[in-house]
């Protein structure tokens, strides 16, 4: 945790007193801890307590801007490595699930791209209320991580589930998030990334807008998760991730040949590349000259790598991507079935923050049974880590 910036969001519940111990232990382990309190939370524990334990001022009011060089909630959101919501009340869960930002804590949460860890705490009947459960399920599908409350005697006098988990257990989960276990240790992962270029002549080619950033982030996350990782890359300007072996290709045919050569020694194939669907039937040996107002180019299909692999994949775990502009779920699930994928990752490239060449993405993942993960706009590095974790769990679960 040394040097990691952890933002602790404290909402108004009796379990606030436990969070003081959590903040103290995080600080002692070297984390840079910043605390945001709701006004309700200050009715249980004073801001001075958290200021003393974190060694930083506590933020409560959205409009109390002490540093004119930054906007406080954006600064906290941008620089956080992790958000912890403890205790997370039913009110806070409802606001977060419906995108409401009406105080310092909720506006900061809407602005952050950091992982969010939620420790609910409330009366047992509130916790079991279908509305609360629906909000938690929605947040879980979107990638938020929960530490389920414990059962026992509650402050309100009831017995049941609703007690916030102890700080020691929360610390264990924080360590898992900040230093993820090698979920792909011992596996051989092949990732394809970037565009392909289909030449028209020595000067011109057909291509697409892919930058390769998503595929490169996945390759890096796979290597960090312990996999022996090979990256088959179309032309990009990106540096090769640490611990990854990169093979450069240019055309769809070259990528097809390389994948086919490597697939037999691969456990997991992640097809993140934007491979051209068509190529010119003829490639001119010299530069094509202007000869009229129009030009007709005849194209033919390129090899469909995912479909070819999926038709005879054996024990290979196959993940595909679907970049769409409309009817995302319909097209993604059709691709999942047609190409015999284990998982398909879909994104609508017309959504702000989900298009080509950006540093963020918004994705949904499906398997044969339906939606399994929905992520809000996150950095591509964070999306890659979430995807690699899911792929590792599915791969090991199947095997």
Provide the annotated binding site for CTP.
277, 287, 321, 335, 339
Helices (H), the chain: 16-28, 47-54, 72-79, 90-97, 104-111, 124-128, 130-141, 167-178, 213-224, 252-262, 305-310, 328-338, 380-398
Residue ranges of the binding site? 277, 287, 321, 335, 339
Instruction: Let me know if 156 is a catalytic residue.
Output: yes
- DSSP letters, 331-368, are HHHHHHHHTT-SEEEEEETTSTTSSTT-SEE--EEEET
- For the chain, report the end-to-end CA distance as a whole number of angstroms: 33
The catalytic position among 156, 203, 297, 299 is: 156
Question: Coil, helix or strand for 59?
Answer: strand
Residues whose CB falls within 8 Å of the CB of residue 54, separated by 6 or more in sequence, listed in order: 8, 23, 27, 33, 34, 35
Check if the beta carbon of residue 172 is closer than 8 Å to that of residue 132. Answer: no
CA distances from 271 to 151, 322, 341, 346 (A): 43, 10, 10, 12
Question: Which sequence positions are flagged as catalytic?
Answer: 156
């Amino acid at each position: 945790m040394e040097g990691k910036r952890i933002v602790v969001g404290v909402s108004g519940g009796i379990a606030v007193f436990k969070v003081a111990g959590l903040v103290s232990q995080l600080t002692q382990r070297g984390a840079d801890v910043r605390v945001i309190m709701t006004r309700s939370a200050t009715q249980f524990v004073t801001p001075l307590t958290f200021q003393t334990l974190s060694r930083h001022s506590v933020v409560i009011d959205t409009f109390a801007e002490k540093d004119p060089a930054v906007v406080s909630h954006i600064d906290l959101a941008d620089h956080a490595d992790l958000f912890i919501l403890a205790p997370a009340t039913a009110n806070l869960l409802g606001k977060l699930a419906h995108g409401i930002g009406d105080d310092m804590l909720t506006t900061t949460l809407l602005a952050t791209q950091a992982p969010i860890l939620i420790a609910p705490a409330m009366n047992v009947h509130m916790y079991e209320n279908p509305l609360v459960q629906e909000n938690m399920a929605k947040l879980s599908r979107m990638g938020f991580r929960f530490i389920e409350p414990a059962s026992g005697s509650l402050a309100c006098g009831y017995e049941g589930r609703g007690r916030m988990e102890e700080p020691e257990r929360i610390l264990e989960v924080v360590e898992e998030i900040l230093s993820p276990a090698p979920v792909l240790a011992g596996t051989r992962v092949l990732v394809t990334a970037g565009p392909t270029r289909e030449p028209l002549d020595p000067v011109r080619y057909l291509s697409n807008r892919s930058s390769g950033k998503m595929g490169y982030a996945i390759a890096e996350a796979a290597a960090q998760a312990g996999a022996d990782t090979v990256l088959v890359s179309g032309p990009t300007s990106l540096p090769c991730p640490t611990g990854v072996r990169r093979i450069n290709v240019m055309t769809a045919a070259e990528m097809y040949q390389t994948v086919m050569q490597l697939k037999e020694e691969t456990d997991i194939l992640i097809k993140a590349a934007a491979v051209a669907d068509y190529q010119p039937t003829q490639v001119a040996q010299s530069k094509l000259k202007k000869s009229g107002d129009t030009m007709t180019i005849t194209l033919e299909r390129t090899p469909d790598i995912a479909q070819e692999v999926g038709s005879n994949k054996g024990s290979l775990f196959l993940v595909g991507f679907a970049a769409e502009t409309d009817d995302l779920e319909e097209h993604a699930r059709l691709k999942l079935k047609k190409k015999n994928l284990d998982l398909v990752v879909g994104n609508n490239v017309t959504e702000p923050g989900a298009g080509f060449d950006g540093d963020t993405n918004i994705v949904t993942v499906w398997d044969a049974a339906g939606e399994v993960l929905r992520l809000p706009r996150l950095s591509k590095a964070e999306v890659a880590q979430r995807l690699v974790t899911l792929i590792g769990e599915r791969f090991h679960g199947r095997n």
